[in-house]
Amino acid sequence: MKKYPFLICVFLIVFNGYGQSETLKGAKQLMEAKKFQAAESLLESYVEQQPNDIEGIELLGDAYGQQKKWDDAIDVYEKLTEIKPNNANYHYKYGGALGMKALSVSKIRAATFIGDVKNAFLKAAELDPKHINTRWALVELYMQLPGIIGGSKSKSLKYAEELEALSEVDGYLAKGYIYEYDDEPELAEAYYLKAIKVGGSLTCYDKLTQFYETNKRPEEAIQNIEAAHKKHQRNALHYQIGKVAAEYNTELDKGEHCLKAYIKNHSAADGVPKAWAYYRLAQIHKHKKQKTEAVAYINKAIDDLPDIEVFHEEKTEILNL
């Protein structure tokens, strides 16, 4: 009979571990489904019962962050840096939450966060020489800060060089970002093109497209999106071509063709609802002075998404043609 208490203890330990595993699995599934409030409720209860479970604490911080509850996220990530002071990712997340909090308050108050943000990122970079996200954060931080409170293009480039040593494509994208931010478009374009040549991901193409749009070069933006489509064959790129054509009143026939292809092949994976494609088609027909077609398409957009204010504003413009 003396064996039974021991067996019961083993059973309880195993069962408790199974329960913990299932709870965290459920929380992760909720996070993946973007049900962040539900994940938060589950994790708050879990962490209260398991206050030393690092994985649960981190997931709770992530749930707060996804809901922009920066004060709560800051508290959680700071706790993690105290429990595991040599974990670079916890310092990175702590700095990120502090940075997002700084963006949500007045400029005067935001200045009080800068030192802690910088220290958290620098600590993460020191702890992990291969932490790519931290180096991206430092590239952006040093470029965006005014010089009077520590901004520095040279420091930003230093971390871009470190990125390039870890990932050539990230280094090129970082340098493109730096030179674009510093109003050196020729250098920015050159590095974005290098990133496409080396990496060729949709992200690389997107960065160059955004650069062309920002610099009012819509024809080159369309050419770049077409190159991305040739390589990646994504229906969503049809919409992007149509959007640029409609916004800049250029290559309208191509834009119309691409938007119709987008609508025909649309699926939830494309991200942008069909209503926005109807809206862009309405814009294209407005540019062509084809009022009847424009009205028909804007009505379709409004029927699909009646609460989008810009659709109603566009309809008013079309009716005034």
Model pLDDT for residues 12-67, shown as the tens digit of each residue:
333 344 446 788 888 899 999 999 999 999 999 999 998 889 999 999 999 999 99
Say what the pLDDT of residue 12 is: 38
Model pLDDT for residues 137-180, shown as the tens digit of each residue:
999 999 988 765 667 899 999 999 999 999 999 999 999 999 99
Say what the pLDDT of residue 211 is: 97
pLDDT grade, residue 204 (50/70/90)?
very high
Q: Over the chain, what is the mean pLDDT?
A: 91
Fold of 234-321: 1.25.40
Is 212 a residue whose pLDDT tops 50? yes
Say what the pLDDT of residue 150 is: 67
Q: What's the 3-state SS for the chain? A: CCHHHHHHHHHHHHHHHHHHHHHHHHHHHHHHCCCHHHHHHHHHHHHHHCCCCHHHHHHHHHHHHHCCCHHHHHHHHHHHHHHCCCCHHHHHHHHHHHHHHHHCCCHHHHHHHHHHHHHHHHHHHHHCCCCHHHHHHHHHHHHHCCHHHCCCHHHHHHHHHHHHHHCHHHHHHHHHHHHHHCCCHHHHHHHHHHHHHHCCCHHHHHHHHHHHHHCCCHHHHHHHHHHHHHHHCCCHHHHHHHHHHHHHCCCHHHHHHHHHHHHHCCCHHHCCCHHHHHHHHHHHHHHCCCHHHHHHHHHHHHHHCCCCHHHHHHHHHHHCC
Say what the pLDDT of residue 27 is: 87
Is 10 a residue whose pLDDT tops 70? no
What percent of the chain stands above pLDDT 70? 93
**Amino acid (1-letter code) at residue 124:** A
Say what the pLDDT of residue 107 is: 79
Q: Is the pTM of this model over 0.85?
A: no
Q: What is the mean pLDDT of residues 235-251?
A: 98
Residues of the chain with CATH 1.25.40.10: 35-128, 234-321
Which residues, at least 6 apart from 33, have a Cβ–Cβ distance to it below 8 Å? none
Which CATH class, in words, describes the domain spanning 35-128?
Answer: mainly alpha
Model pLDDT for residues 92-111, shown as the tens digit of each residue:
999 999 989 988 888 788 88
Model pLDDT for residues 269-311, shown as the tens digit of each residue:
999 999 999 999 999 999 999 999 999 999 999 999 999 999 9
Q: Give the burial class of 33: count Cβ atoms within 10 A of its Cβ; 0-12 exposed, 13-18 middle, 19 or more buried.
A: exposed
Model pLDDT for residues 177-190, shown as the tens digit of each residue:
999 999 999 999 99
